[in-house]
Amino acid sequence: MEEKIVIITGAASGIGKGIARKFLGENWRAVCFDISKKSLEKTAYDFNEDGFKNFEIFEGDCGTLASWQNLKQILGGGSEKIGAVINNAGIGINKPVQDLSLEEWNRVMATNVASVFLSAKVFGDILKKNGAPMVNIASTRALMSEANTEAYSASKGAIVSLTHALAMSLAPARVNCISPGWIDNGSNSPLTQEDHLQHPAGRAGVPSDIAELAFFLADNSKSGFITGQNFYCDGGMTKKMIYV
């Protein structure tokens, strides 16, 4: 079987790392794109320990054109083997809107939204040529919010809109997005039973929940008639009516 390459942003931790692990397990070559050198090194160590060898780490800022161009240059002829791009990188700066600086707002938008645009700008022609899907990771925050999340929520709403726009522009390459809910990636304190049972599905999510859906959407043989869509993967929370 011909080797296929997947580029995954924010792949050094959390959901992105889970997605990279899924693709590696399915015999893809994974390019793990992240801004944190330390986290990338830890991810490389973990993947090697798990017996995965077919990956590369790339340190860069996905919110800048220079990093995307540098990645394309490093891949060289390998760019022609790109089979999917997963735009997962995301940050949040949660502050009262009066305290949130324009620089902080722009930083969130660059990492979360401009990165998706830049991936299409640099690799879009290859995606179209190969019929290679793009999967963007948005959030249920595109639909519902807590206080002081203006930058993050706005960025995730933009990803949903950018997804269906790119689905038209990059056709026949398919472009879809996933909106995760509460995903426990182990970076915070252990969840309580109450945390889990408030979900209609009976538990909070884990990175593999998103990874499985991302892989499905990247597989033309299984999801080839799906494009421009946003999939909520949240244990049912966006459908749950809550009264106090």
| Integer Cα distance of 213 and 129 in angstroms | 24
DSSP 8-class letter at 94: -
- Name the pLDDT band for 186 (thresholds 50, 70, 90): confident
Q: Can you tell me whether residue 119 is helix, strand or coil?
A: helix
End-to-end CA gap in the chain = 55
pLDDT at 2 over 90: no
Residue ranges and CATH numbers for the domains of the chain are: 5-239 (3.40.50.720)
pLDDT digits (tens, 9 = 90+) for 20-73: 999 999 999 999 999 999 999 999 999 999 999 999 999 999 999 999 999 999
C-alpha atoms less than 13 angstroms from C-alpha of 67 in its C-beta half-sphere: 19
Cβ atoms of 134 and 120 closer than 8 Å:
yes
Pairing of strands 134-137, 5-9: unpaired
CB under 8 Å to 70, separation ≥6 — which residues?
60
Candidates 45, 152, 232, 243; catalytic one: 152
| Integer Cα distance of 221 and 142 in angstroms | 29
- Name the pLDDT band for 243 (thresholds 50, 70, 90): confident
Residue 219 sits at φ, ψ, to 5 deg, of -100, 105
For all residues of the chain together, what is the average pLDDT?
96
Closest to 159 (Cα-Cα) out of 231, 217, 233, 94? 231
Q: Is 232 a catalytic residue?
A: no
Say whether pTM exceeds 0.85: yes
| Integer Cα distance of 91 and 83 in angstroms | 26
